[in-house]
Structure 1
C-alpha cells in the first residue's frame, strides 16, 4: 500500500499526532495530581482521616459543588504545610478540613 502525504493530508496527519500527544500529556498530569505531591519540598507531612467520608474539596471553602473525593477513616495522604480557612492542602486542587485529619509523623504540619 502506497501512502501519499501531500498538502492537506500532511497537515491533518500532523494535527492528529499533536492532538494525541496533548491528550497523553494531560492524562499524565491528571494522574500526578491525584497521587499528590512527590517532591520532598512540597510534601510537608502525612495525614490520616479521623472520620469516615471526609470530603476532599477543590478549594478551601465549604461548597457542595467543590467535593472531588472522600477519605475513609484512617486513610492516609501526603499533605503540605499550606492551611487556608481551616483547610489543609493535600495537593493542587485537593483540600481537606483540619477538623477531620491528624498528622502521622513527627514533622510539624
Structure 2
C-alpha cells in the first residue's frame, strides 16, 4: 500500500513539531547556564556590589526567578560579577544545582 505525498508530509511535519517541543522543554528546565536558579521571597530584594556591601546595584521583586552562581559568602549569594543578594531571601528553586 502506497502512502500519498500529502499524508507523508503531514506526518513528517507533526514529528518535527514534537521533536522541537521536546527539545524546547529541555532548554527551559536548564535555563540557567550554571544550573543554579533562585526565587525571591522578599517583597523587594536589593542586590549589592559585594557581600554585605552598602552600594545597591539592582533590585528584584517577590517571586522573581534569577539565574545565580553556586557561591555563597557570609550569607550572600552571588548572582553575577558585582551582584550579591541575601541568600536568606533567595533560596534555590526545586531541583536547582546551587551547591551545598
Gaps of 5+ in 1: 1-37
User: 1:59 — aligned with what?
Assistant: 50
The 4+ residue runs of structure 1 with deviation greater than 2 A are none
Is the CA contact 2:68–2:80 (under 8 Å) kept in the aligned structure 1?
A: yes
The two structures have a TM-score, normalised by structure 2, of 0.61
Give the length in aligned residue pairs. 68
2:81 maps to 1:89: no
Q: Which residue of 2 aligns with 1:78?
A: 67
The CA RMSD over aligned residues, in Å, is: 1.8
1:105, distance to aligned residue in structure 2 (A): 3.4
Residues 39 and 101 of structure 1: CA distance in aligned 2, closer, same or farther (over 3 Å): closer
